[in-house]
């Protein structure tokens, strides 16, 4: 019997399995170990951050694994390029969504709390502007990356 790595499909499955295991370990570490440690810390900032990044990191690991594993399969060059672009598009969407949630739900929420404690109105205005511009900038940058990757 030939080893699993002898065929392209076997190499694909093995590479994907390794990335799924990496994702599972990362998910376990974030869910159980880091959360157990951070529960002892005061405040809810760390819990909110863990809640936001846990699932997208799992998805990113699996998507990166698919990108790495796809090159093992004997697709024609144009099909392989299309698959790589679609997977990269999914990676960018997941990463942009995670960044948006971290900035809006954690960073700017904390900035808003701090701004309410100060007497100046400048920080209130800056936080409001940042809340308006953050989604626009994330979509703009993600769009530029996608357009560059797709050759548009």
Tell me the per-residue pLDDT of 91-142, one tens digit each, with 9 for 90 and over. Answer: 999 999 999 999 988 888 888 888 878 878 887 888 888 889 999 999 999 9
Comparing C-alpha atoms, which of 68, 63, 70, 65 is closest to residue 88? 63
Q: What is the pTM of this model?
A: 0.82
**What angle (nearest 5°) sits at the alpha carbon of residue 50, between those of residues 47 and 51?**
85
State how far the alpha carbon of 102 is from the alpha carbons of 11, 49, 106, 146, in Å: 36, 7, 5, 21
């Amino acid at each position: 019997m030939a080893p699993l790595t002898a065929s392209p499909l076997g190499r694909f499955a093995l590479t994907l399995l390794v990335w799924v295991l990496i994702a599972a370990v990362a998910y376990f570490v974030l869910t159980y170990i880091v959360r157990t440690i951070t529960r002892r810390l005061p405040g809810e900032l760390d819990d909110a951050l863990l809640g936001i990044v846990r699932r997208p990191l799992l998805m990113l690991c699996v998507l990166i694994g698919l990108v790495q594993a796809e090159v093992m399969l004997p697709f024609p060059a144009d099909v392989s390029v299309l698959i790589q672009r679609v997977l990269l598009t999914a990676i960018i969407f997941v990463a942009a969504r995670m960044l948006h949630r971290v900035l809006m739900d954690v960073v700017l929420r904390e900035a808003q709390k701090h701004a309410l404690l100060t007497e100046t109105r400048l920080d209130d205005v800056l936080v409001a502007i940042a809340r308006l511009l953050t989604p626009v900038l994330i979509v703009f940058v993600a769009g530029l990356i996608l357009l560059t990757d797709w050759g548009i």
